[in-house]
Structure 1
Amino acid sequence: MKKIALVSLMALMAATGMAQPKDGGNPFFKEYTTPFKVPPFNLIDTSHFIPAIVEGIKQQQAEIDAIVNNPKAPTFENTIVAYDKSGALLSKVGSVFGSLNGANTSPALQAIARKTSPMSTKHRDNISLNEKLFKRIKTVYENRNKSKLTPLQIRVVEKYYSDFERNGANLSEADKTKLRAINQELSMLGLKFGENLLAETNNNFKLVVDNKADLAGLPADVIISGADQAKQDGMEGKWVFTLQKPSMIPFLQYAQNRELRKKIYMGYNMRGNNDNEFDNKVNILKIANLRAERANLLGYKTYADYIISNNMAKTPEAVYDFLNKIMEPALNVAKQDLAEMQAIADREGANIKLEAWDWWFYSEKLRKEKYNLDEAEIKPYLSLENVRTGMFYVANKLYGITFTKRPDLPVYHTEVDAFEIKDSTGKHIGVLYMDYHPRPGKRSGAWCGRFRSQSYENGKRITPVITIVTNFTRPAGDAPALLTWDETSTLFHEFGHALHGLFTDGQYERIAGSIPRDMIELPSQVMENWAGEPEVLKVYAKHYKTGEVMPQELITKLEKSMTFNQAFVTVEYIAASILDLDWHSFTAPKQVDVNAFEKESMDKIHLIPEILPRYRTTFFSHITGGYAAGYYVYLWAAVLDSDAFQSFVDSGNLYNKDIAAKFRKFILTEGGNDEGMVQYRKFRGQDPSPIPLLKKRGLDK
């Protein structure tokens, strides 16, 4: 077996052009000697990953075998803690590989993913379906209340027991074999879906403009960015616009050429749906059917039932009810906005009926008409560096922590910055990497990940290494990167996730930082609230040329416009959430036409044709990843974050340190110590109210 694996590995390296390490050393097999033991990116080569993953699997399997073959009776220490601490090497290499494959992938890394994903899936199944291991865990579980365990230890036992049950430990051998096959196929389908989407977004569409007249309406910085992209693509003298949002959204907002707006809009919304080699219709249908089969095998009616039973919402019916209650007022306001935009088009003599590709263009006109505000007025005050300074300032005021740029730390790309975080006493808390701009090897969107989670080793806390990855507007001409308001909010959002990762502190990996999926966006979304507060804007919103603070008149306009277009944002989001739930509500596998199914789903909620779901089926990467049957969680958590922020507002101090301390303790640090709502009540002292959210979005009419 070892010989076959070695031959396969060598063949893969040759086929993908992966170089052998020059000195034969593998950084993953040694303790990092870098500051704070961050990954030594300058030493890591693609050829290191597969050997390290193979060895990591081997080591964890040996650790599992030691637990299973322990002749002593199962205890919390020799079974639960031993399992909780297993897999250190696999986690070490896996977190680095997964992060790089998302933020800086290459054909070599994609080939490694295709090779190792089935191996990792098989390994996870070997553990979760290990009858002897489950038997020992079950024994500890059944004796948990008479074993003098602490409440926290009992929670760890209960969570692991539930994990094994939910992953098939109680199935018959025949059904375990079926489950293994399903898991293998799902892992490969998810990879293929993502690879197709990356190709469709970054490689398969470019809007090339060669007539300067077609640039009418575009701000100067957008035109410069288009010229820079064209030059980069070998088309100097032309302008290129891509499906990356920093390129596409401004084009939709300002370009007067309606046909070109339609072209780029449809290019974005037809990704994975073009009947070509990167089409995702077959992939998503297989995924939905396999998940239905998997849920049935595990004793659940649907995959949505399986997922949501572990969340705060508990049932799909509760989620549908929640979404429909907010959809009604949001859709009513969106229709009012649409009527006002149509009136503008009519007054201007456009002689058109507004379509989906017109919404961004006419909503900008409506914003200007209602609030005398053009986003182009705001951007000069929102340089990337200033916005980053602003969010660091808020974190310092709330939690007393500081951020120091560390150019001496190794990075995986020249555009990445690294920061050391310390608490108010100067004690090291962790490291934060930030990766800002689009590039061909980066998947779209924005996310927060980790190169290392916090943990404990011999009683000492190992500090986390967190990463924020975004696809923000690049610098254009002699101007720095100037962010849109949406990008500003997104940076604060991902920073909230980062604070959660940095502040998490727990002895047991299973529950440290582990909060329900429909609460996981609370730490991120609550940070967005500070971004638009006038007293915070006065700290960081400074003109990139003059250093002038954003004028009060402009701050007032921005503040008044905060509810603008929120109905559209809410409707497109709920539409995607419903679509996600519908795909995961199959009671059994079935054959459907993907586009027809999507249309039926949207017709059911009376979605107007001028608004498409935020993510259509064939590029809905959230639901092929960790948010399957769970895209609704952003809105669910929005109720929590709006209510949480209201506590600061009601106190009269946006930086109330007592409230911040409670939020840090009960949500960010100890969020996994009990059920989500229990932890929230510990922080807030009451159940969350939906009123602050409705008010914030202008839906309380």
Structure 2
Amino acid sequence: MSSASSSQPVSPVHLPESVELLEQIVDQTKQILQDAGDAILALSKDQQSSVSLTLLRFQERQSEAAALQTGCTFPTMVHLDKPVRDASTEAKKSLQKAWSALHSRRDVYAILQQLEISQENDPMIRRLHQHTLRLFERHGAGLSEQDQQKLIQIRDEISSLELEFQRALNEDTTEILLTAEELDGCSEAWLQGLKKQTAAVKEEGGQEFYRVTMKTPDILNVSRNASLPETRKRVAIKYRQVCTDTNGPRVDRLLELRHDAAVLLGFKSHAAYQLNINMAQKVETVDEFLENIMSAIAGKRDSDKEVLLGLKKAEYERRGWSDQFDGQLCAWDVKYYQEILFRDQYAVDNNLIQQYFELDYVRDQIMGIYSKIFQLRIEQVPGKYWADDVTLFAVYDQKAQNEAGEAGQADPERFKIGYFYLDPFPRPGKYSHQCVVPLRASYVVSKTGEQVLPVAVNVGNLSRPTSERPALLKHTEVRTFFHEIGHVFHAMSNKARFSLFNFSWSAVPYPTSLAMDFLEVPSIMLENWLWEPLVLKRLSRHYKTGEQLPDDLIESLVRSRKVSAGLLFSQQIAATSIDMKLHSVDPKTRQESVAQLWKRMSESLAGIQMEGGPGVNPACQLYHIAMGYDAGYYVYAWSEMHAHDLYTRFKPSSSSPDGKKESRALDEVLGREYWEKVLSPGATVEPLELLRDFLGREPNPEAFQRYLTEP
């Protein structure tokens, strides 16, 4: 990775500095969307039968609106000023209504529906036509006017509730005050990064407390390291109480409204509506898939639980707490005893390993790996963006430039394929999980033939640097970072003619047609790199000594990959099954509250005691339930099945002279094939066709089943 040579770096995305500027962008975007429909109606009857004057112009105006809207919808996730974040949330509501209004226009639908797309037309035009009509139909254009108006009202309320749900979590400032004694076992480096508060009440004697937030780095540090079970329990319960007063009623209402909308559109449930356009297609397919997984891992889940219970019992005996041991493994025990298992039985000390993963170095090496395997070039673009720690990078197709020879060397800018930002650390008001947001879709401008370049951002919440040391990442954070950068390059790979076929995510209001249960496949496949010894060696450098991760630590880390995997995967499947259950039944017929159902199903499927008590509701902290993964949380397990299948092509297939099998993880020929066959097509090709093309056969779950069941 190098710095860009341009003396006048230009940011491809600018966030407005004021509410007034943001509102101007809203008005411009809404006007484009209004014009997109009006222009079709203004055509003569003969002109309305022209594909280029109707369908293609309609799509291009939407592409323009999609590119513009970022300036008013993305600030809600990252902007430093709360008034702008609040205005951005309102802008997103407004624009979601505008997009919905466009695709609800019965007059425009009638014209597009009558278009004759002949066999001589480009197949991509036929696909565009089919997907465009599908958008209108899913917005009720095929219903009676009365039913469509009901649907529009329901959708407007759903949009508002989802955005308020997200805003509540983004703006949440819940903390818990804990003493150094209560945080026994947590690393000094992490404690140094926490804010402190001295108790004002006289009874406390001026005792000093650490202010532990409910953000991911703090939650993980306590759950993995705090030796006092009461501390872990208090923090776990406090986290499960975040936003329950506000988001609890929103979840209940969302479930009702989603069901009503699905029934209006002729579906049995919201889950049936969501899955209809995904790879899985049917609720029964997902239910069977989840049942098969639980059946496969049940034995390992139980044995994993017994191992951790044994560690808990031994610790209670060692500390003189035997009278408190009740034979129960609790949700707040799992990560803590898993850390002990890592350290004592697998020689994996995550606090030690973390010292080898300095964020800036890991970032550069990850980009180097992606550059190598995909044959790209990445250059940092210097400049100041929406926050001081945000950086911008330009991506070039190095393979294409090399193949162009001297012409490529003379004009390297011609091979630029996109931009991406990194926004790595948590801050007040920022979206508090990890994600990649497409900021600009890629499409071709019909008049000039210019390819508008895609822009994306990795919104992260990684461990911050402290006064004593730089930002250091746990291996799990490195894996998450690698996964999210995989999404970034999925976005960078797209050269679709129409924005509708781009990589996208539900956080953006404009429509795309990439199947949700394929979206995660490429990045989950790439997570396998973080268990390859040669990749771990390359990513690591001790922040003090500069030494790479020793071979014995690498070997131990790789051996630990499936430690407690049965238990941890059962927890994921429990959340997935709960999501499907909530969205597969009529909420009016459900006897349990969401919180009651969550606790019962989690304890039944995962086999551990969950958080309980007043105000506890895990649905209220799950961004996914309000960000497009409703009846869609299954996509992670589903994607993992296909990811393991894809990775079979990167596994060792040849032997070196010393008899050791060689991994193909850094094979740039195979990596480029993956880029061209799996990533670049975006939604222009059905996911199963992409998988078949790369695998050279029908996809199957065999590799996934081996991963689940083998030691």
Match of 1:505 among 477, 485, 495: 495
The yes-or-no answer on 1:153 pairing with 2:149 is no
Give the conservation status (yes or no) of the 8 Å contact 2:567–2:606: no
The yes-or-no answer on 1:440 pairing with 2:428 is yes
Give the conservation status (yes or no) of the 8 Å contact 2:72–2:91: no
* Change in 2 beyond 3 A, CA 1:589/1:118: farther
Counterpart in the other structure of 1:213: 181
Match of 2:452 among 444, 459, 462: 462
Counterpart in the other structure of 2:405: none
CA–CA separation in structure 2 for the residues paired with 1:360 and 1:126: 47
CA–CA separation in structure 2 for the residues paired with 1:700 and 1:400: 34
C-alpha deviations, 1:406-436, integer Å up to 9, x for none?
223x410001111122221242222211011
* C-alpha displacement of 1:403: 1.9
Aligned-residue identity in percent = 25
Give the conservation status (yes or no) of the 8 Å contact 2:73–2:89: no
* Change in 2 beyond 3 A, CA 1:244/1:126: closer
Counterpart in the other structure of 1:563: 562
Q: What does 1:514-525 correspond to in 2, within 5 Å?
A: 514-525=513-524
Helix, strand or coil: the match of 1:494? Answer: helix
Q: What does 1:337-348 correspond to in 2, within 5 Å?
A: 337-348=304-315
Q: What does 1:157-556 correspond to in 2, within 5 Å?
A: 157-199=129-171, 202-204=172-174, 206-210=175-179, 212-226=180-194, 228=195, 238-273=209-244, 276=245, 279-348=246-315, 349=317, 350-351=321-322, 352-353=325-326, 354-408=329-383, 410-424=384-398, 425=401, 426=412, 427-457=415-445, 458-513=448-503, 514-556=513-555
* Change in 2 beyond 3 A, CA 1:55/1:99: closer
The yes-or-no answer on 1:632 pairing with 2:634 is yes
CA–CA separation in structure 1 for the residues paired with 2:524 and 2:617: 20
The yes-or-no answer on 1:699 pairing with 2:701 is no
CA–CA separation in structure 2 for the residues paired with 1:285 and 1:236: 41
CA–CA separation in structure 2 for the residues paired with 1:392 and 1:34: 23
Q: Read off the aligned partner of 1:489 and give its amino acid letter.
A: R
The yes-or-no answer on 1:675 pairing with 2:692 is no
* C-alpha displacement of 1:639: 1.3
CA–CA separation in structure 1 for the residues paired with 2:78 and 2:209: 28
Q: Read off the aligned partner of 1:203 and give its amino acid letter.
A: T
Counterpart in the other structure of 1:125: 100
Helix, strand or coil: the match of 1:671? Answer: coil
CA–CA separation in structure 2 for the residues paired with 1:319 and 1:130: 33
The yes-or-no answer on 1:67 pairing with 2:40 is yes
Helix, strand or coil: the match of 2:418? Answer: strand
- Name whichever of 63-72 and 325-334 sits farther off: 325-334
* Change in 2 beyond 3 A, CA 1:94/1:325: same
- Name whichever of 282-291 and 503-512 sits farther off: 503-512
Give the conservation status (yes or no) of the 8 Å contact 2:595–2:618: no
* Change in 2 beyond 3 A, CA 1:612/1:528: farther
Helix, strand or coil: the match of 1:214? Answer: coil
Give the conservation status (yes or no) of the 8 Å contact 1:49–1:93: no
Counterpart in the other structure of 1:594: 594
The alignment yields a C-alpha RMSD, in angstroms, of 2.5
C-alpha deviations, 1:28-48, integer Å up to 9, x for none?
xxxxx974551244x643321
CA–CA separation in structure 1 for the residues paired with 2:17 and 2:64: 15
CA–CA separation in structure 2 for the residues paired with 1:249 and 1:271: 16
Q: Scaled by the length of structure 1, what TM-score is found?
A: 0.88
CA–CA separation in structure 2 for the residues paired with 1:334 and 1:611: 16
Greater relative contact order structure (CA < 8 Å, 6+ sep):
2
CA–CA separation in structure 2 for the residues paired with 1:238 and 1:320: 47
* Change in 2 beyond 3 A, CA 1:607/1:549: closer
* C-alpha displacement of 1:330: 2.8
CA–CA separation in structure 1 for the residues paired with 2:89 and 2:682: 35
* C-alpha displacement of 1:561: 0.6
Q: Scaled by the length of structure 2, what TM-score is found?
A: 0.87
* Change in 2 beyond 3 A, CA 1:606/1:452: closer
Give the conservation status (yes or no) of the 8 Å contact 2:79–2:85: no
Counterpart in the other structure of 1:16: none
Counterpart in the other structure of 1:666: 677
Q: What does 1:43-62 correspond to in 2, within 5 Å?
A: 44-62=17-35
CA–CA separation in structure 1 for the residues paired with 2:709 and 2:439: 40
* Change in 2 beyond 3 A, CA 1:610/1:450: same
CA–CA separation in structure 2 for the residues paired with 1:190 and 1:38: 28
CA–CA separation in structure 2 for the residues paired with 1:568 and 1:664: 34
* C-alpha displacement of 1:601: 4.1
- Name whichever of 479-488 and 320-329 sits farther off: 320-329
C-alpha deviations, 1:185-209, integer Å up to 9, x for none?
111111221222234xx412x2223
CA–CA separation in structure 1 for the residues paired with 2:169 and 2:514: 29
Counterpart in the other structure of 1:10: none
C-alpha deviations, 1:159-215, integer Å up to 9, x for none?
11122112211111111110111011111111221222234xx412x22233x3333
C-alpha deviations, 1:558-580, integer Å up to 9, x for none?
11111112223311211111111
Please, which runs of 5 or more residues in structure 1 have no aligned partner? 1-32
* C-alpha displacement of 1:310: 0.5
The yes-or-no answer on 1:685 pairing with 2:691 is no
Q: Read off the aligned partner of 2:42 and give its amino acid letter.
A: N
Helix, strand or coil: the match of 1:360? Answer: helix
* C-alpha displacement of 1:650: 4.1
Give the conservation status (yes or no) of the 8 Å contact 1:390–1:536: no
CA–CA separation in structure 1 for the residues paired with 2:437 and 2:151: 28
Counterpart in the other structure of 2:620: 618
Counterpart in the other structure of 1:576: 575
Q: Read off the aligned partner of 2:501 and give its amino acid letter.
A: I
Helix, strand or coil: the match of 2:436? Answer: strand
Helix, strand or coil: the match of 2:490? Answer: helix
Give the conservation status (yes or no) of the 8 Å contact 2:365–2:538: yes
* C-alpha displacement of 1:615: 9.0
CA–CA separation in structure 2 for the residues paired with 1:487 and 1:128: 40
Q: Read off the aligned partner of 1:74 and give its amino acid letter.
A: S
* Change in 2 beyond 3 A, CA 1:312/1:105: farther
Counterpart in the other structure of 1:13: none
CA–CA separation in structure 1 for the residues paired with 2:355 and 2:463: 13
Give the conservation status (yes or no) of the 8 Å contact 1:435–1:468: yes
The yes-or-no answer on 1:641 pairing with 2:649 is no
Helix, strand or coil: the match of 1:429? Answer: strand
* Change in 2 beyond 3 A, CA 1:178/1:342: same
CA–CA separation in structure 1 for the residues paired with 2:710 and 2:309: 24
CA–CA separation in structure 2 for the residues paired with 1:281 and 1:73: 48
* C-alpha displacement of 1:236: 11
CA–CA separation in structure 2 for the residues paired with 1:94 and 1:362: 46
* Change in 2 beyond 3 A, CA 1:137/1:601: farther
- Name whichever of 118-127 and 529-538 sits farther off: 118-127
CA–CA separation in structure 1 for the residues paired with 2:48 and 2:354: 65
CA–CA separation in structure 2 for the residues paired with 1:542 and 1:316: 46
Q: How many residues are aligned here?
A: 651
C-alpha deviations, 1:385-412, integer Å up to 9, x for none?
122122112112211212222223x410
CA–CA separation in structure 2 for the residues paired with 1:628 and 1:343: 37
Give the conservation status (yes or no) of the 8 Å contact 1:56–1:87: no
CA–CA separation in structure 2 for the residues paired with 1:640 and 1:504: 21
Give the conservation status (yes or no) of the 8 Å contact 2:357–2:473: yes
Please, which runs of 5 or more residues in structure 2 have no aligned partner? 1-6, 201-205, 402-411, 504-512, 654-661
Helix, strand or coil: the match of 2:140? Answer: coil
CA–CA separation in structure 1 for the residues paired with 2:365 and 2:373: 12
